Structure 1
Amino acid sequence: MRYDQKVYFVKRIPGSYDPKTGNYTDKEHVFSVWASVMDTGTDMLNLLYDGIPQGSKTLHVIGHWKQPDLIRIDDKTYKIDLTRKLRTKQTFIVSEVPE
């Protein structure tokens, strides 16, 4: 298994109130991880989503990580649908978030 694609884990941090704009500003903590990225198998898609959604991927990363809020691969953003911790790695099944 090749861990040849760089993915970005995004953790949102609640920001503070900005009196100039009147909005709350959220901050993001982004860090990169090397992962093995592949399309999700048909059996798992039917089990998880009760169909075949577009843009679903399976990631394998070495080690165990705290679950991020979002994952970015290339220019697309994905939400985590299922995560599983194995002995030496962690698996994420993600689906694309429409922009």
Structure 2
Amino acid sequence: MRYDTPIYFQKVSEGEYDPKTGNYGPEQLSETEVFASVMDTGTETMTLVYGGLRQGSVTAHIQNAYTDAFSSVRIEGRIYRVDYTRRLRSKQVFVLSEVQ
């Protein structure tokens, strides 16, 4: 298994509070790069996770575990949300679906 595809865990943080106006500043997006093995999700896994087939679903394996909070994952310019995750002894598996 080759961990050669960069994936980016995205975290959206709220802007700072401005006491003069009473508003919050613009949201800030931060990304953390991790290399992963990315492949299409198999038919059997899609049936287990979604109850049927779904287009735009990928499976990503990363070495070790990612413990920081995140809201979405970006792979090659496309945004994905996590539908299922499983932490194993030496890696973590994510089943992702594309956000339209």
Q: Under TM normalisation by the shorter chain, which class is it?
A: 0.7 to 0.9
Q: Which one has the largest radius of gyration?
A: 2
TM-score normalised by structure 2 residue count? 0.86
Q: CA deviation at 1:49?
A: 1.0
**Aligned-pair distance for 1:68?**
2.1
1:92 maps to 2:88: no
Q: Distance in 2 between matches of 1:38 and 1:74?
A: 13
Match of 1:26 in 2: 27
Listed as ranges, the matches of 1:5-84 within 5 Å are 5-17=5-17, 19=21, 24-66=25-67, 67-84=69-86
- Provide the aligned length of Structure 1 versus Structure 2: 97
| Unmatched runs of 5 consecutive residues or more in structure 2 | none
SS in 1 for 2:45: helix
**Root mean square deviation of aligned Cα:** 1.8
**Once the two structures are aligned, what percentage of the paired residues are identical?**
43
The 3-state SS of whatever aligns with 2:81 is strand
Shift of 1:16: 2.9
Structure 1 residue 26: deviation in Å? 1.5
* SS in structure 2 of the partner of residue 44 of structure 1: helix
Deviation at 1:24, TM superposition (A): 5.0
Q: Distance in 2 between matches of 1:15 and 1:48?
A: 35
